[in-house]
Structure 1
Amino acid sequence: MRLHRLLLGLCLGIDATTATALVSEPGDVAVIPSWDIQSSETVGTDLEALSRPGVDTTTWHEVDSSRCTLMGCLIQAGVYRENGLFFSNALQSFNSSQFKVPWIYRKEFALEPSAGQHFHIQTHGINSGADVYVNGQEIVTKETQSGAYVGSSYDITSIAEDRNALAVRVYPTDYNYDFALGFVDWNPYPPDNGTGVWRNVEVKQTGPVALGPLRVTTQVGLPIENSSAVVGLKATATNLEDREVTLELKGTVSLEEGGRNYNLNQTVTIPPLGTAELALSTTLNKPAVWWPRQWGEQPLYLGQLSASVDGALSDKVEQTFGIRQVTSKLTSNNDTIFYVNGYPFQVSGAGYSADIFLRWDTAKFTTQAKLMLDLGLNTVRLEGKNEHPELYEVADRLGLMVLPGWECCDKWEAWTYNEDLAVKSEWTGADYTIANRSMYHEALMQQGHPSVLGYLVGSDYWPDDTAAEMYYHSLKAADWQGPIIASASERGFPAILGPSGLKMAGPYDWVPPNYWYDVEPAEDRLGAAFGFGSELGAGVGTPEISSLKKFLSESDLEDLWKNPNKGLYHMSTSVSSFYDRKIYNDGLWNRYGAPSSLEDYLLKAQIMDYEATRSQFEGFSALWSAERPATGLIYWMLNNAWPSLHWNLFDYYLHQAGSYFGAKVGARKEHVVYDYNGKLVYLINHSLDRKGSRSVTVDAIDKSGKTIYSSHKVVKTEPNTSKVILDLASALGSITDVAFLRLVLSDDKKAVLSRNVYWLAATIDTLDWDNSDWFFTPVTEYANFTALNDLPAAKVSVTLATPRSHRCEAAKNISVVVENHSKVPAFFIRLNLVDKDGEDVLPVLWSDNYVTLWPGEKLELKVEGEGGAAVQVSGGNIKKANVYL
C-alpha cells in the first residue's frame, strides 16, 4: 500500500520520502498549517476518495491559513476583496447560495509511524459540524463533531502512514438551529454564517500514554501580598495500549523571568486502555503576584507535566498561569461586585466583537488591547465570541481582564421561557450534549489564564436548570476557580447559581450625559450608574471622514446629514431597532442645530460622541462609593466586526475619534468629574496605592472668555474610592446660553493628573423615564447648545515640542504644543497624525485629543505612531491647518 502511495505521489509531484514530518517526537503538537478548499458541488461528496493522498487539487482554492471560515478562506485566497465587500451595500447583493451546500477542507501531511508511537487529530471547534476523514477512513461525523466550541482528540494511529491526507467536510451553519457564533443585530450576517474550520486543527504525537490539557490551580490567602501559594498541576492520562503501563510523571513550576524551579514527581500505574487523573502540587513562598494593569505587574509562571513510560518520553503538556485570586459576591442590593486579590474591583470595560468573517489577527487584537488600556479600561467582555487561546495569552501579558460567556438571541438561548426569539429551536437531548462538551472545552482553554474574571453561562437569558447544572459541573471538572454567573441580565436564574447581579436594561441608543447620574428611584432608572451594567451605552462611535470614505459612497455620505432618519446599511440589520440614526440625530439637530454640511455634521457628531462616552464612564466612576455602588459597566461596544457607523470606541480601522477620547477622559485613574444632574464635583481614585494631598482647580467662563467662577481647593484622596468634594449649583446658576467648565486635578508636586473641560447649557436635557424603552429613554426637552455655532473665532498654533535634532530618534514619539492666542475659548480642537500621503497613521496613541483651550492656555500633547509626516488640525471655532513634522 505504501509503495502504491509513493508512486502516486511521485506522479503528482509529491515526494513522500523527503517530506518533513509534521510531528516527530512524543509531545509534539503541530497545527495543520494551510488548506485547499472547494465546494462539494464541484468535487463531490466522496470523502473516502478525497481523503486519500494524491488527489489532484489544482482546481481547489489554496489557502495559506491554518483556520478560516469559508468567507475568510476565500478572501485570503484572493477570490474576494475585503474593500469591495465592505463598500456601501455591496455585501447586501452577495451571492450566498454557494454556501448552502457542504464544503471540503483538505490537507496532506507527512508522519513517521513507528512501534509504540500514537498519532491524534485534535479539533477545537468547527462551524457548525463536520465529517472528518483521514486516509480514506471515517474518523468522526457531524453528529459528534458538532458545534463551534466542541473540541476532541481522535486517535489515528492505526491508519497513519508516511504520507497522509485529511479531509474535513463542513456543513452550512444556521444560527437558529446550530451552536455557532452569531452576530444578532451587530452587523449583517456574513454570507457563510461563519461556516468552516474557524479554529485550528492539530496533529499530535504521543507514546503509549497521552495527556489531556494541563489544568493549573492556585490557592492563595489574603492579604495576598503576604501569602504563600499552593499550585496544582492536573491532567488526565490515557493508556493507549492494551497492556498495563507504569507512568513516571514529572512536573515543573517556574517563573518565566527566572528564579527557582519547583520540581515534582509521581509514579502512576494505569490499566490497559484505562485512564487516570494526575495531580501534583507544591507551595510557593512569596510568589510573584499577577495584577490587572492598573494595579500592578503581570508576572507569569510556566507549569509543565511530562510523562514517561519505560524511560522514554510519552507525552508532555504545559500552560502559563498567574498567581492571583478572583471572586465575586452580591451586595445588599443584589448587584455583583468582583474582587481581585481581595480588593473590590470596579469593572470598567467594553464588549468585544470578533471579525465578521471570524478572521483572527494576534497583532490586531494586541493593538486593540493596548488601546483599551490606553483608554483606562480594565476588562473586555466576550459575548459568545470566545475566540482563540492567543486572546487570553495577550490579555495575561498586558494585564487586561476578560469576561467571556455564551451569546444571546439564537440556539444558545432557545429556552421555553425565551419569548424574544423569532425562531426557537428548543434543545433536544443531543443539544444538551453538544452544549456540555462546548462548555468543558472552553473551560479547559481558559481556566489557567489569570486574566479571566469569570464566566457568564447566559447572556440575555439564563440557562434552564438542566443546562446550568451541566455547565457548572463541567466548569468544576475543568478545575475552574473563578466566578460562574448565571447571565448578563436580571430576568431570572437557575437554582444552582442564584441571581446574576448584572443588569441589561439598556440603553443602546443615544441618551444625554445627565442620564447616568439620575439614579433615583432605581427601579425606574434602568442603565443609570448603579449596580453592574453588563452592556450599555449611548449608541455612539461615528468614524471620522478619513475612515468613512473607505466604506461609504458619495450618496451614502450625503445621507448621513441630508437624510437623518434613513436606514443605513452600515448600522445594524434592517430588522433592528438600530438600522437608522434617528434617535441620535434628533439629539444632534435639537441640541447643536441642523448641520450645514457633512463636515459640520461630523464635527457635531464627534462632540455628541465625546460627551456621551465621557459621561458614562465618569458617572460609573463617580458613584463607585455611593450608597448603592456602581460596581461595573461594559460599554456597548468596544469595536466593530466590520466598518460601522455606531457602537465603538475606535473604528474598524483602529482610528480613534470622539467616543475614544471622551471615554479616555472619563476613565482616568485619578480624576475630577462634573455631575450634570446634581452640579456636583467628584474626586475619583481607581488606584490601590495613591493617596494624600490633591489640588483641584475649578474655572468657568462664558463663550466670550469672561470668568463666571474660579476656585481652588486642597483635598485628600484615598485609594479605590470616589467622593463629592464641591457643589457648583450656585456657581453655575447664571448660565444664559453656553458656558465652559474646566476641572484640573494636580498632585502635591503640582503635576497635573487630569484636565477636564465641559460645555454646559442653561438647562440639562429632560428625560422621560416613564416612557423608556429597552434601548433608550426619550428626551422631552433638549439642552440648547446652538450658541456654540456662533463662537468667536480663536487663533490657535500647533508647534513641535520635540527638538529638530532629536526628531529622527523620536520619530515614533512626538510632542506637540497647542496654544490658544485668543481671548476666547478654542473649542474642540482635533489633531490627526498623517503620513506623507495624507493617510491616517494607524495605530496611534495620543495623550489627549479633541481638547478645548482656555484663552491664552497651551497644552503639550504626546503622540506615538510610526510614519507620521504631519498633524492635521481642525475644530469648532478655529481654522483648519496642517503642521508638518
Structure 2
Amino acid sequence: MVRHAAVLLALAVLAGSVPAAPNPAPNAAPQYNAEFPAAADVIVKPAPAGSWAAFTLAGWVKPAATSVGTVPIAGIGGSTVCGVDGQLAFCADGVQVRSPAPLPASRWTHVAATYDGRRLTLYADGRQVAQQAVKLEPPADARLVLGPRVGQGGFVGRIAYFAATPAVQDTAALAQLQPNEALINFETGSPHWPLQTRQMLGQVAPQDAATLPKSTTPVGTPVAKPAYAGPALVKDGGAFALKAWSMQAAPQVRDDGARISQPDYAARDWYRATVPGTVLTTLVDRGVYPDPAFGLNNLAIPEALNKQNYWYRATFDTPATFRAGRHLFVTFKGVNYAGEVWLNGHRLGGMKGAFIRGTFDIARYVKPRGANALAILVSPPPHPGIPHEESVAAGVGENGGVLAQDGPTFIASEGWDWIPSVRDRNTGLWQDVVLRATGDVVLGDAHVITALTKADRSEAELAVDVPVTNLAGQAVTATLRAHITGGAKPLAIAKTVRLAPGVQTVRLTAREFPALRIAQPKLWWPNGYGAPHLHTLALTAAQGGGVSDEATLRFGIRSVTYELSLVDGGGNLRRVEADFTKGRALGVRITDARHEALRKVPNGWATGLRAEAENTAAIRALPETELAPYLVIKVNGVRIAARGGNWGMDDWMKRVDRARLEPYFRLHRDANVNIIRNWVGQNTQDSFFELADEYGLMVLNDFWASTQDYNVEPQDVDLFMRNARDVVQRYRHHPSIVLWFGRNEGVPQPALNQALEALVYELDGTRWYTGSSNRVNLQNSGPYSWKEPASYFTEHAKGFSVEVGTPSFPTVEALRATVGAADQWPLADAVAYHDWHPDGNGAVQPFIDALAVRYGAGKSLEDFERKAQLLNYDSHRAIFEGMNAGLWKENSGRMLWMTQPAWPSTMWQILSHDYDTHAAFYGVKSAAEPVHVQMNLPDYRLMVVNNPAAQVRGTVHVELFDVKGRRVGLNDFKVAVDGVGTSAPIEAGIHALLREHGLLFVRLELRGEDGTVLSRNAYWPSATPAGQQALHQLAAGQVAVATERRRDGDEHQVRVTLRNSGTAPLLAAKLTLTNDAGERVLPVYYSDNYVTLMPGETRVVTATHGREGPLRLQVRGWNLAEKTIDVH
C-alpha cells in the first residue's frame, strides 16, 4: 500500500494537481488551529517552558462578527489578545492596551502582541498599531487558552497558527504566512459527546486469599422463618396474586418442564419459596444460610448460587369466577433474569430481562375445575462476574464488572462500593405473579396526560390514552368508560369505538369530553411545596353486553417544565423553558440527545435544540443566564429547589414489599427532601413509584447502563429496548417521575441512546429524556469523601449536582446490630466490608483526620461515634445550606450520594438499613426545610431561604454564647423574603466575635410577624478547625426530661419535653426510644434529634411509632451522660 501511494503521489505531482500544503511557520512554539461557534468552551493547551517575563502571542483570527464590548481571543493565562468593539486590543488583569486596527468579520487578520518586560506592542497584519508601557507579572498558570469564555459569551470565529512564546519574536515574518482554510483541521471549541473508548471488567480472577476480610466472630447460625401458609390465590383488585410457591435448584431436579408442571408432580424436598423474592431470600428464610447482612456472613454463602438455574412451581385451583370462553392471563411482573414458563404440561413461552413483564394466556390449558400447576425455569444473568470482597488490605475494589453487559438486570449485585456481591445476583421471581380474566377486549397501560392551562393553576386539562387489544379475530364494538375520583367531585365519561383486531389506542380528550377540563384542580406537588394529591382512574371496557376488562391506576395532576440551556442549529446557546407536554400536543420533539447534538459549553455540556421546536410554543426564551447550562425543574409553574438523594438499591436482596419500603419513603419525606433517583433503574417496581407518588418525592429515573469509559455497555440492544418499552408504558402515569436518564454518568452507545430517546417521545412525550445523569446540563459527579463544610458553599456541587457524598457513620446501636462485638473496635475488616472504605471515592481517612483535629482521635467505639455524629451533622447540613446560599444564582439542585442504604452500611447514607436515623438525617432535615434560617460559610453571614411560593415576613433572632454559656451577642433583623427566593445576606457580627472568643454557640430563630417560630438553627463554629477542641471544656450537661404518651390515629406518639436546666450549652442531645428490654423501637419518626439547647431553653420533640407496650427513653449527648427514663 505504501509503494502504490508513492506512485500515485508522483503522478499527481507531474500532472500539477497536488494542492499546496498548509503553510509552515518559522516558530518553534506549537501552533494551534481552532474554531468557535457561539455555544462553545475554551480550549486549553500546554505552553512552552520559560519564565514568561517576556513573550509573544501571535496568530491569525477570523471573527464571525464584529466584537461588541471586550472579547478575549487567545493568550497565555489571563493575558490575551482580544477584540474591543471591533478593534484589536490586549487585555490582562487591570491592563488594557487598545489599538485603532479593525478586526473585520469574515476576514483573516494576523494579530500579535509582544512584551519585552517594559512595553506591550500590538501588531495587525505585521504592522505595529499600538505600544504602551505596562508592568505585567508572569502568569501563574502558563497555559495557552484559545477562545476563553466570559460568562456564556466569547470569541466566535476561527483562529489559525496561534502560538505563545516566552520571548519577543519578529512578528512581521509570522504575518507573511497566510492560512489556507481548506487544508487546516480546526479543533472545535464545541466538540460533540465522545463514544466509549475503554472499560473495566471488575475482578477478573479471584482475589488473593490473604486479602480476604477476616473476623473472630463466628459465622451466624441460620434461622428459619415461617413459610407462607395462606391460600394459593389472593384477591388483588380485579386480579389474583399467586402466593404459594416452591423452589429448587435445577441441578437437583431430574424432570423437565412438561412433567414438573403437572398437578400430580411430587415436588419432594423443594423449598417453600418466598415470592415475591429472590433465590437467596428463600434460602435465608428457610434457614439454609445465615443472614448475609450481618458481619461477614455473606462470605459463608457460595457463589454457585448464580451459576445454576432454578425451578419455581405453584399449584392453584381455577378461580370459581372464571367463565369458559374468556381469557385467563398469568403475568410475571418481574423475573431475573430469564424464564421459561409451563402450565399443566404445556410450554407457554419465555421472557428475558429483569424489568419486563411476561404475560401468557392460559385459558386453553387451564382446568375448569381442580388443580393446575404452573412452573417456571429461572436463569440467572449469564455473566455474573467474580466478587471482590472488601477489606482493609484489599481496599474497596471496582464498581461492578462484566455483569453490566447483561443489562437490563441488577448490575450492582456483582458488587459496588456500597454493597458486596449478592450471591444469587438477585435471581428469582422478584415481583408478583398475578392471574387476570378478561373478554376479547383487553385494556393496556393507560397514559394520563395532565396540563395546566392557566398561569394561576386554576384549570387543568386531562387526556387519557388507553391501549386496547381486540383478541376476537374480527372487528368488534366496545365501550370504554372512565371514572375519575379524588377531585372536588367525581367525573365519568364513556366512548364507544369500533376496534379492528390487534392493538390500538383510544384517546379521551377535553375537546371531546369537556368534563376532562377541571376547574380548581387538586394538584400533585413535591414534598414541601404542597400536598402530593392523587386521583384514581377506573377504566372499564364493555363489549357484547358485559364487562370485558377493567383496570385502575392512580395519577397526579401536575405540569413539569424544564429550564435548560440548549444549542440551536446555528450553534447558539439558548436559555429556554421547555414544555414537553406542549411539544407533544404540537407534534414536535424539543431536545436532541444524539451524541452529535450534545456540545461542550462553559461549565459542562448542553443538549441540542431541534429545529422543529424553534419558534414554537413548546419553548419560552428566558432572559436569565446565571444558571446556564444547568437544569431547573419546575412543577406547576414553580421552580423547585431540588434537594434529595440517590437510591442505589432499595434493598440489596430485592425484598421490596410495600410494608418494608414505606418507612424509608416516610423518613425521606420527614427529612424534607423532595427528589430521589432510581439509580441505574435498580428500583424499578410498583412499590417504589407508588410510594414516591404518595410521599411527594420526584424521581429521576435511570435505565440500566452505567458509567461511560468505565463500565461495560449493555450488549443486547433489542433486549434492552423491549424491557425499556415495558417500563415506560407501565410507569408513565406516575406523577413522581420527572425525567428519564439513559445512563448513569455517561451517554449510552448511539444505537441505544437514540432508541431510548425515540421510545420516550413515542410512549411518554411529557418528560425530558437525556442520555447522561451528569455533565449534560448537569454538574459532574462528586466529591464523595469528607470535605471542609465551607467548601460546599464555595467550590463543590455547583449548578444541579446529581451526586455529592460524604462518609456518614451510623449510630452506635446500628453498628452493634451490624457486626459482632469483637469486630466493633477498632474499626477493621468487618466494618470495612460494610463500606468503611480504606480507599476509593469514599476513602474515610479525611473523615478520620478531621475528627481527630477537631475532637481528638476516637478512643473507643462509643467515643468515636459521639464525635462522628458532630461531623455527620455539620457536613450534611453544609451540603444543602451551601446549595441554599447560591440558590437560583448558581445552584438549582443538589442530591446526596446517597440517602438510601441498600444494606447495613457505614457510608453515604442519612439513615440505617434498620430505619435508625443518625445525625446526618437531622442535618439534612434542618437545611432542607421549606422555610429556613441559616449561617453561611465562610463569612458567617445569615440568610433566610423561602422555598414555597408565598412571601415570608418576620424577624431573624440571633443569640450568641461562649463555651461557658454566657450570652455574648443578641440581635434581631427584620426580613421580607419573596416566594421561591432568598434574603440578602445579613451581617450579624459573628465573625468578629468568633475571632475574639475562639468558639461560639449560635442560636438562630426565624419568627413570623405573629411571633410563630418558622425555623430554628444552632451552630458551634470555631475560628480554626482545632478550635473545636474547646467543646471538651463544656460543663456536664443537665437536662430535665418529661414525656407524655398519646394516640395519633393508628399510631402512637411520645411527646418529649427537654429543658436545659444547666448553665452551659447542651450539645447534640440524642433521643432513642426503646422497649423495656432496652432494644430500639424501629422505625420511629422523630420530629427532631441531636438537639442543641442553650441554657434555659426548652424544646418539644415528638416520636411517632407503632409499638404497643412499655417504653423507655434514652437520652445522651456530647456533654450529657446517658440517662434512661420510663415513658409515661
Q: What secondary structure sits across from 1:643 in the alignment?
A: coil
Cα gap change, 1:32 to 1:572, in 2 (>3 Å)? farther
2:311 maps to which residue? 104
Q: What secondary structure sits across from 1:105 in the alignment?
A: strand
Q: What secondary structure sits across from 2:863 in the alignment?
A: helix
Question: How many residues of Structure 1 are paired with residues of Structure 2 in the alignment?
Answer: 798
Matched residues in 1 for 2:499 and 2:913: separation? Answer: 54
1:788 maps to which residue? 1031
1:848 maps to which residue? 1088
Shift of residue 713 of structure 1? 0.9
Shift of residue 684 of structure 1? 0.7
Q: What secondary structure sits across from 1:738 in the alignment?
A: coil
- C-alpha contact 2:1067 2:1093 (8 A) present in aligned 1: yes
Shift of residue 574 of structure 1? 8.7
Shift of residue 859 of structure 1? 2.1
Q: Which of 432, 444, 448 lines up with 1:200 in the alignment? A: 432
2:834 maps to which residue? 570
Q: Which of 475, 499, 522 lines up with 1:245 in the alignment? A: 475
Matched residues in 1 for 2:257 and 2:751: separation? Answer: 37
1:160 maps to which residue? 366
Q: Which of 952, 964, 969 lines up with 1:709 in the alignment? A: 969
1:5 maps to which residue? none
1:300 maps to which residue? 534
- C-alpha contact 2:279 2:426 (8 A) present in aligned 1: yes
Cα gap change, 1:735 to 1:851, in 2 (>3 Å)? farther
Q: What secondary structure sits across from 1:794 in the alignment?
A: coil
Cα gap change, 1:123 to 1:70, in 2 (>3 Å)? same
- Counting only pairs closer than 5 Å after superposition, residues 301-316 of structure 1 correspond to structure 2 as 301-316=535-550
Q: What secondary structure sits across from 1:157 in the alignment?
A: coil
Aligned AA (1:876): W
Q: Which of 883, 894, 900 lines up with 1:620 in the alignment? A: 883
Q: What secondary structure sits across from 2:1078 in the alignment?
A: coil
Aligned AA (1:548): L
Q: Which of 241, 256, 266 lines up with 1:31 in the alignment? A: 241
1:538 maps to which residue? 806
1:404 maps to which residue? 701
Matched residues in 1 for 2:1047 and 2:469: separation? Answer: 61
Aligned AA (2:800): F
- C-alpha contact 1:123 1:200 (8 A) present in aligned 2: yes
Q: Which of 427, 434, 444 lines up with 2:719 in the alignment? A: 434
- C-alpha contact 1:566 1:581 (8 A) present in aligned 2: no
2:491 maps to which residue? 261
Shift of residue 572 of structure 1? 6.4
Shift of residue 188 of structure 1? 0.3
Q: Which of 849, 857, 862 lines up with 2:1097 in the alignment? A: 857
2:861 maps to which residue? 598
Structure of larger gyration radius: 2
Shift of residue 349 of structure 1? 0.9
Q: Which runs of 5+ in 1 are unaligned?
A: 1-18, 491-499, 520-526, 764-781
For the aligned residue pairs, the C-alpha RMSD in angstroms reads 2.7
1:373 maps to which residue? 669
Matched residues in 1 for 2:472 and 2:1078: separation? Answer: 65
Matched residues in 2 for 1:49 and 1:665: separation? Answer: 61
2:451 maps to which residue? 219
1:681 maps to which residue? 942
Matched residues in 1 for 2:317 and 2:264: separation? Answer: 12
Matched residues in 2 for 1:381 and 1:45: separation? Answer: 44
- C-alpha contact 1:188 1:572 (8 A) present in aligned 2: no
Q: What secondary structure sits across from 2:406 in the alignment?
A: coil
Query: 1:285 aligned to 2:518?
Result: yes
Bigger shift: residues 160-169 or 52-61: 160-169
CA-to-aligned-CA distance 1:536-586 (integer Å, 9 cap, x gap): 12121x2222222212122321122xx6x99711116898544x6323212
With normalisation by structure 2, the TM-score equals 0.68
Matched residues in 2 for 1:555 and 1:633: separation? Answer: 39
Matched residues in 1 for 2:1082 and 2:826: separation? Answer: 27
Matched residues in 2 for 1:442 and 1:68: separation? Answer: 20
Q: Which of 823, 826, 830 lines up with 2:1063 in the alignment? A: 823
Cα gap change, 1:855 to 1:260, in 2 (>3 Å)? closer
Query: 1:328 aligned to 2:538?
Result: no
CA-to-aligned-CA distance 1:215-258 (integer Å, 9 cap, x gap): 222232232522231x222222223233x131312222322367
CA-to-aligned-CA distance 1:426-450 (integer Å, 9 cap, x gap): 554xx11111111111112221112
2:342 maps to which residue? 133
Shift of residue 407 of structure 1? 4.5
Cα gap change, 1:587 to 1:23, in 2 (>3 Å)? closer
Matched residues in 2 for 1:454 and 1:665: separation? Answer: 27
Shift of residue 71 of structure 1? 0.8
Aligned AA (1:700): L
2:816 maps to which residue? 549
CA-to-aligned-CA distance 1:797-822 (integer Å, 9 cap, x gap): 2223x4x8x79999922322222233
Matched residues in 2 for 1:721 and 1:593: separation? Answer: 40
1:611 maps to which residue? 874
Query: 1:360 aligned to 2:602?
Result: no
Matched residues in 2 for 1:262 and 1:809: separation? Answer: 33
Cα gap change, 1:752 to 1:55, in 2 (>3 Å)? same
Matched residues in 2 for 1:370 and 1:208: separation? Answer: 41
CA-to-aligned-CA distance 1:379-418 (integer Å, 9 cap, x gap): 1211122332122222223322222212454xxx6xxxx3
Query: 1:443 aligned to 2:728?
Result: yes
1:511 maps to which residue? 787
Query: 1:693 aligned to 2:961?
Result: no
Matched residues in 2 for 1:644 and 1:548: separation? Answer: 9
2:251 maps to which residue? 41
Q: What secondary structure sits across from 1:602 in the alignment?
A: helix
Greater strand proportion: 2
- C-alpha contact 1:186 1:572 (8 A) present in aligned 2: no
Shift of residue 843 of structure 1? 1.5
Q: What secondary structure sits across from 1:457 in the alignment?
A: strand
- C-alpha contact 2:418 2:907 (8 A) present in aligned 1: no
Bigger shift: residues 631-640 or 93-102: 93-102
1:93 maps to which residue? 300
Shift of residue 121 of structure 1? 2.7
Matched residues in 2 for 1:155 and 1:845: separation? Answer: 46
Cα gap change, 1:355 to 1:228, in 2 (>3 Å)? closer
Aligned AA (1:172): P
Q: What secondary structure sits across from 1:285 in the alignment?
A: strand
Q: Which of 493, 500, 504 lines up with 1:276 in the alignment? A: 504
With normalisation by structure 1, the TM-score equals 0.85
Shift of residue 21 of structure 1? 9.8
Cα gap change, 1:374 to 1:637, in 2 (>3 Å)? same
Matched residues in 2 for 1:109 and 1:335: separation? Answer: 54
Shift of residue 860 of structure 1? 2.4
Q: Which runs of 5+ in 2 are unaligned?
A: 1-229, 385-402, 566-624
Matched residues in 2 for 1:311 and 1:878: separation? Answer: 74
Matched residues in 1 for 2:994 and 2:840: separation? Answer: 42
Aligned AA (2:1120): I
Matched residues in 2 for 1:714 and 1:810: separation? Answer: 42
- C-alpha contact 2:790 2:878 (8 A) present in aligned 1: yes
Aligned AA (1:155): D
Shift of residue 120 of structure 1? 2.2
Q: What secondary structure sits across from 1:676 in the alignment?
A: coil
